[in-house]
Structures are given as C-alpha cells and as structure tokens.
Amino acid sequence: MFSYFANPVRFQNLCRILVPVLGIGALLLIVPAWVMGLFLVPPDYQQGDTFRIIYVHVPAVIVASLAYAFLAGASFVSFVWRHSLADTAAKAAAPVGAALTFLGLFTGALWGKPMWGAYWVWDARLTSTLIMLFLFLGYIAIRSAIRDEVASTRIAAITAMIGAINLPIIKFSVDWWSSLHQPASLLRAGGPAIDASMSWPLYMSIAGYACLFGWLVLQQMQSELDERRAYALVQRASGRIASKASAQSKGNPDA
Amino acid sequence: MTSAITGLIGREIRKAGRSGGSWAQGAVFFILFTVLSAFALGPEQEFRSNLAPALVWLAASLASQLSLDRLFAEDLRDGTLECWFVDGQSLVEFSIGKFISHWLVVFTPILILSPLAALMLGAPVSILALTFISLAIGGPALVFMGGMVSALTANLRGSGLLIVLISGPLLAAPLIFGVGAVQTADIASSELKILGAISLGAMVIAPVIATLALKVHLE
Amino acid sequence: MPDIFDFGKNSSFILICYGVSIAILGTMILMTIRRRIRAARNLAKIENKSRNLG
C-alpha cells in the first residue's frame, strides 16, 4: 500500500514539469509546422500541392508505431514487475495510439487516391498499420471486457505482447506476398530525397505529435491516479463509518 | 509426450464423443461456408476454381476458431484446471494437451473434408493433395494461435467475438502462406516451408503464453 | 473559399486530411482536459471531506 502511494507522488512531481513542457512543445511545433506545410513550403515538382498531406500523415503513422512500442514496453514492465504505474501508462496510451493509427490510415488513403489512383493498396506498410489498429482495438476491448482489476491488467498486458510479436511477422508475410503478386514499385515512388525547406516542417510535426502523445498520456495517467485515489478514500471512509455504526449498535463506543 | 498429456487428450476425446456431436460444428461450418461461397461466386467455373484454395483456407481458418471460447472456460469454471495446478502438474502440459485435443477433435474433420470442399468449388484435381498437405502443415498454427487467445479470455462468458478480434491478426500470416503454397502447385515451395516454420513457432510459443494467462485466472 | 485554401485540383483531399486531423486531435485534447479537471476537482472535494471527517 505504502509503496503504491509513494511511487505516484514522485510521478506527480515529474508531471508538474513534464506536462507543461510537452504541452507547449506540442503547440509550438505542430501549429507552425502545419502553417508552413500548408502555406509557405513550395509545391513539390512531382506531386504538386498534394504532398502537403505529408505533414499530417507521416507524423501520425510514426507516432502511432511509437505508441504501440510504448504500449508493448509498458505492458512488459507491468507484467513482469507488476509495476502499476506502467500499467496505467499502457492503459492511457492505447486509445491515443488507436486514434493516431486511424488518422494515419485515413490521411494515407486520401493521399493515395490522387497519387497512386487507389485509396487502399495491400502493401506491407499499409497492411501492418491496419493490423496495428486491430491490435489497439483488441487491447482496449479485452481490457474493458474483463471485470477483475488484476486479471484485466495482466491479460491485457499479455495481449499487447502477443501483438508485438505478431507485427513483424505480418510485415514480413505481406512483403513476401505483395512482392509476388503486385508491382511493388507503386508505393516506393515516394520521390527522391526532399528539399530541406520541405523536410524541416516534417521533422517539426513529428516531434510535435510525439510531444502531444506524451502530454495526452501523462494527463490521462494523472486523471486515472486521481480517480483511483478518490475511490480509495471513499472506500476507506465508508469502511470507517460502517465500523463506527456497528460499534455504536453494540453500545460500545470505545471499539 | 508425457502420460499426463495423453491422459488429458483421451479424456477430452471421450468427452467430445459424449457431447452429442458438438465437435462436428467446425466441420459443418466449414462445408456450409464453402457451399455458400460457391453460390456467392456464381456459376462461372474458371472464376470459382481460381478462388478455391483461398476460400478453402479461409473457411478452415475460421472454422478452426469455432468453439474455442469453451476450450478453457469450462475447466476453469468447474475446477479441473485448479485441481491440475494444485496437483503440481505443469500448466504448459495442460495447454498442450488441450490444443492437441482441439486439433484432433475439431480440426481433423475439417482437414479430411478439405479436398472435398476444394473439389466442390471446382478446384483442379491436381491441387487437391496440396490443399490437404498445406492445411495439415498449417493446421497447428491455426489451432495453437486460436487456443492461446482462448486462454486469455477463459474467465469470460460469451467471448467468441473478442477471441476473433484478437486472433484475427494472428491468422493473417498462416493464411498468406497457406494459400500461397497451394497456388504455387509445388510440394517443395518455400511458402510451404515458411508455413511449417510458423506452425512450429506457434507450437512453441502458444503453450507458454497460454500458461501465463491461465496462471492469471487461477490467482 | 479564400484563395489561400485553394490547392489546385486536389484541394479537397488536402483540406479533409488537415480538417480530420484537427478534429480528432482536438477532440482528444478536449476530452483529456475535461477528464483531468473533473478528476482533480473530485479528488480535492473528497480529500476535503475526509479531512473534515477526522
């Protein structure tokens, strides 16, 4: 019990510094990157203006993969060392990761249509991103399905780790599969190395999305810890009231 | 294989025999799926025969996931699992025994019917043997992966859809290489070898992960 | 539509991508802040009460 409360206190202190830094960082990186990407960067000589989608697509996909790695890592720590903070982190990261994965797929589809003539191609990268969305959803589903707190934590952690083993296998399989059945050149046509004026906003938006991910996860974790602490206090108070009442009914106020 | 596992398998098979034919659900689903897909694809012979390997594999991988939600749930509820654990017997052996009996009881009928299903869809006779072989090699992957997921949800009632959501992404790799192996029409294709490797991997990893999950439920 | 939002023939694709990104990220941010405020306020209230309770 004591070690449980000792750890979150240290965590709250860390959050007091990290949350504003990440929040302001996300704001100062994403907004300028989008403005530059939309209005200031010159159009690509091959893709025209359409390449501007890169500044919302690539950061979403990259940070979504980071989010899955984070989920799997936190699940591993939570499963092996029964670290409850790691579990809180995993729980907070899953919905954010799912939303980012969805955004990556959605913007990718809209980018693919004018560029390659198809909203969707069964390429290794697209397929494993789609599978990643299912992994996030499966994690969230199994977590909410199991009522028992400890069991749901540990089973969800195992689920996340299975997914982490599965993702590279899927990627390899689809690579193999599409190299046999499809012209692979389609998606490799990302174009040659892009100009510095185009790449800076991209790096900024990736860093900004990463900051935003960290900010969202930390805020959700703090909320979760507050809610749990409030719950524990209510439980304790109601226990005290109940024991007082039973002591009074026995006519023994000293008990 | 230890006597504990063989004993468990024997008991499971006898239980399946007494259960009034619920073991045949997978095989019935398998045949029904192929019949309905024949209707869905229409009368054009060549079109159907091109799709036959894919559909047979799809039907088999879905049918093998049927009734998985009960694989561990009953043993957890009625205390069989706890007795086994308290006895000091290995939970890894327990899950291996359960997977093998599910493979024997549910998957073997599907495997036996698979050439017939392929024939019904109009597949050329030359690939019937390969369909059977690829399913025989890939079957353990389907059963062990699905069984592993069913260990995760052993303490839930009506977890069928949840199992599919979690095991679905796992089935992608065996499906890709299973169908690929049939399409190469070559008994020594690398697809078939990779499929075998996936099966072996699943046979090693799935009992370990199932054991971790079962221990959580027993705590 | 003002001129600066005109990106040629694929304008709608670009604007939808940015629009949906802003909408989803914005919703997540708002929901997170709302939960944060509610959880902190609720905890403060309960801590106050339990302190008064003794």
Complex prediction ipTM: 0.89
Chain A contact present for C30, CB below 8 A? no
Q: Which CATH number fits domain A19-187+195-244: 1.20.120, 1.10.10, 3.30.450, 1.10.3470?
A: 1.20.120
- Substitution target in A45, A223, A243 with the highest count of C β-carbons within 10 Å is A223
Q: Would the CB atoms of B216 and A151 count as touching at under 8 Å? A: yes
How close, in Å, is residue C26 to chain A by CA atoms? 11
DSSP B104: I
Residue in chain A nearest C30 by alpha carbon: A216
Contact between B120 and B179 (Cβ < 8 Å): no
Residue boundaries of the structural domains of chain A = 19-187+195-244
User: Which segments in chain B show pLDDT lower than 70?
Assistant: 1
Contacts of C28 in chain A (CB under 8 A): 95-96, 99, 216
Query: Of A205, A197, A224, A154, whose CA–CA distance to A28 is shortest?
Result: A205
The structure tokens 């083993």 sit at A165
Whole-number pLDDT of residue A250: 65
pLDDT at C16: 92
Find, among A158, A104, A102, the residue nearest to B148 by Cα. Answer: A158
pLDDT tens, residue by residue, B152-190: 998 887 777 888 899 999 999 999 999 989 988 888 888
Residue numbers in C near A114 (CB within 8 A): 9-10, 13
* Distance between A217 CA and the closest CA of chain B, angstroms: 24
Cα gap C42→A238, rounded to integer Å: 17
Contacts of residue B145, Cβ cutoff 8 Å, sequence gap at least 6: B167, B170, B171, B174, B202, B206
Q: Name residue A48's beta-bridge partners.
A: A44
**Res. C44: pLDDT tops 70:** yes
Judged against a pLDDT cut of 90, whether residue C11 lies above it is answered with: no
Domain housing B7: 3-218
A44 beta partners: A48
Tally Cβ neighbours within 10 Å of residue B32.
12
Contact A107, A101 (CB under 8 A): no
The dihedral through the CA atoms of A119, A122, A125, A127 has a sign that is: positive
Q: What is the pLDDT of residue B1?
A: 61
Residues of chain A with pLDDT under 50: 1-3, 5, 182-192, 255
Can you give the pLDDT at residue A189? 45
User: What is the Cα–Cα distance from A208 to A34, expressed in whole angstroms?
Assistant: 10
Domain chopping of chain C, boundaries:
15-53
